[in-house]
Structure 1
Amino acid sequence: MSLKTDQQIVAFLEANGWLGATSELIKPDASARCYTRLHKNGKTIILMDTRHVVREQTVQFYKVAKLLRAHGLSAPKIYAKNKAFSLLLVEDFGDALFARLMAQRPELEEPLYRLAIDMLLRLRSLLPSRKIPLASAKTFKQMLDPFFETYLLDGDDSQNKKLSILANISTCLAEFDGSLTTVALRDCHSENLLLLSDREGIAKVGLLDFQDAFRCHPAYDLVSLLQDARRDLSENLECRMITYYLSSSKDEKNRFMRAYRCLGLVRNLRILGVFEKLICDEGQSFYAPLIPRVKRHVEITLQDPSLSLLRDDILAYFRAPKTLVER
């Protein structure tokens, strides 16, 4: 249905002065949200259509955006919303995605990652709000559900390996669970960050897709940034950026890196499951080329001796002949 024939959207745009705007559909993300850039009288704005998304997600987007802006971070302003929180008009941050800029100008890669890390360090200074849910060990184990639902082992050994993985993940999480907590954007990667050239300092980093933010260890967002499903970083660059982060955060390196590896493992296994579901259930085949990169992140992480008890069980799932998609 076009904007001109969708009566809900027509009424919403008319009430907020944007009826008659020309429209430009923006490439969708992995969610059911739809984004359209509207042009009128030399100005632009983003129409965010979340009618096929659980209302609470959009309410949380609104709350987190307000919290981030209050602390000098660049989350989009929300100019209008309907009562159901299903249609919103939000600030247009443009198209200068970090991923796009780094592809066009490789010399910007390290400066942009440093800028993103500066933003994460500011984010870490926020007092965690009770409006942001706390990620517990149970939360992280539940995050693995998409992996176990799509990567399948035959035979009786399947359940034993799953229980072994969950038990060993719990042991890893227990070492730092609750010891250091901050707001984590949760999907902090190169296609959710935009360069806002007209701003200064960390305000240059435009933030998107933070409605799933939770409170957890700060290593979560760092590993999201540096182990990106959508683009390759050299191992050397990843190490330099970790060193840059730690030089400011003053965390004890070994302890921080144990959290980095454990949370990165959970995140990347979840991504594998989510991508397989998107391919299988929604026909979004463009996620398929990303899967080998995410598997490499997992395999490299598992080389660390601290995760030796997880290595064989997880790699058994990678060696299995079939995923849900392939079946």
Structure 2
Amino acid sequence: ALIEAGGHDQDWLTEEQLAKNPVRIPAADYKRWYAELPQELRERVEEHWGPPPGEMFLDRSRNPEGDIVLAALRRGNLLILIQPPRGFGENPIAIYHDPDLPPSHHYLAAYRWIAARAEDGGFGADAMVHLGKHGNLEWLPGKNAGLSAACGPDAALGDLPLVYPFLVNDPGEGTQAKRRVHATLVDHLVPPMARADSYGDIARLEQLLDEYAQISSMDPAKLPAIRAQIWTLIQAARLDHDLGLQERPEDDGFDDFLLHVDGWLCEVKDAQIRDGLHVLGGAPTGPERVNLVLSILRARQIWGGTQALPGLREALGLDEAAATRTTADEAEAKARGLVEAMEAAGWSVDA
């Protein structure tokens, strides 16, 4: 539905979407609110974006002065919208943190309309929720603390209460939102984590490496054939690009090459990856909880700056810096057995 409402991608947004969108701000209303902003901010805005109401997402199909259109859905007293773009260009993500680029007219209009009272032509919001880490409001130009009316975040949000569900493992950027947009943070868990493990071509490559080790000690005459199989699989799966190879290693260097492959496989299958999305208000359960606890316990637990408890794998005797595919698999299996036993016991230390 939000895509149908128009979005903010200028390459795909159509005149028809602009014209039919019911969530719109008359240019006259925006000019009135804009005139109340400090002159120094208005000068910076107009230097970059021209006089109000600007040209971004402006529809003149209903009145000659135009309406600023928002990619939004209005459901009674609830408004759901995509945060206005911070700017435009080849690298829009870098623009999020630009300390000099002032907000556009479209950006200011969206926030001022949301906050303005209904009798003043606004939406009349009681509060706002920024959902998703992170947005761009807290990175607008202005002071780092004690913001003034001429600072971008304050000019846009005003005194509207802001609730901000925020990923718990990024306190630095969460603090920025608290300090610069008076956000009330609601921390939430990271997505469920899991060990990547091996699958598909990588699993088949592992199997061939194990066969190679057995043949090396029991029937070396078959080594040329299995070397050919290994290299064929590597090329077919385009793993040679990942390994930085342009041609097959010579036979006398093949064993050293396989040590490199083995280390690479260890890194790939032992990587920690996201395994789905976190559901707000619900902790993971069952296998997802086991995987998340395993991921957390791989790291050392440090407090007081110097004291530390070893990670679970380290406590089981694995040196992560010198881990191989085999030793990492063995340590993971032992650690998983312990955590699964705790899960089965309902995480009761007495059990």
Answer 1 or 2: higher relative contact order, Cα 8 Å, separation at least 6: 1
TM above 0.5, yes or no, is: no
TM class by shorter chain equals under 0.3
Whichever of the two has the greater Rg, that structure is: 2
Higher helix share: 1
Normalising by structure 1, what TM-score? Answer: 0.27
